[in-house]
Structure 1
Amino acid sequence: MQLKAVVETVPANAYVNLFYFNPMNNSTVTDECECGLYGLNSPLTSAQGLVGIPKSANLLACDYNTEFTVTETPWIALIERGNCTFAEKIKLATRRGAEAVVIYSAPNRGSYTIPMSHI
């Protein structure tokens, strides 16, 4: 129990491994980075699956009726930051069946990363 309390209040780096098909040269691309943080109070577990984004042009996933491009499990929701809380985004995606949620900043908003709470 003591360890859990410490884990929840200390930011933890997220290591991301990407595998995708590049149709331009007919190859599979592998990339990895230490390029994110787990949110405060997030379980520090690994997840794998296809990546799904909101089906609409609005990638913020703040609308209760948001649907995603992937529904077959396991899948990971990729959601743009903004307009509602991280907790709302996470609840919406997990209600739709996502195993994990990655929230990113739009390219024109910078890449400064800070740990966010989502309780």
Structure 2
Amino acid sequence: MMGARRRCILATLAFLMLMGIAVYFRLWAIHYNLSSDDTQLLRQQFDIANREAMDESAEWRLRYDQEVDRTKKCLQELQVFQESSQKGQDASDINHKLAILQKENAVLLERLETLKRELEEERLKCSS
């Protein structure tokens, strides 16, 4: 009786071990399928994140290019303003020089008139 009982226990133990191994392999297979699905999911998420990063990079590049264009336009306007300001200063300098030259011209015209009068006086002296 003791031998039969021992065999029954060993058979039950062997059966339970086989069932445990079967359950273990089943769980391992499920985990493997989930892992491969996770790998595919991770790959898809990486691709999505990569596309989003590329889009964001393109957006920032566009903003940079727009800012560079705006800066160039501002610099050109500043340069035009500086040139016109310089022309304004040149114009005021020219007006000042013109006023000086007009005064000098008036002085020279007066001097010319006096010289003409002196010349006429000398002619009159010579002819008399």
TM-score w.r.t. length of structure 1? 0.14
Identify, as 1 or 2, the structure richer in strand. Answer: 1
Identify, as 1 or 2, the structure richer in helix. Answer: 2
* Bigger radius of gyration: 2
TM-score w.r.t. length of structure 2? 0.13
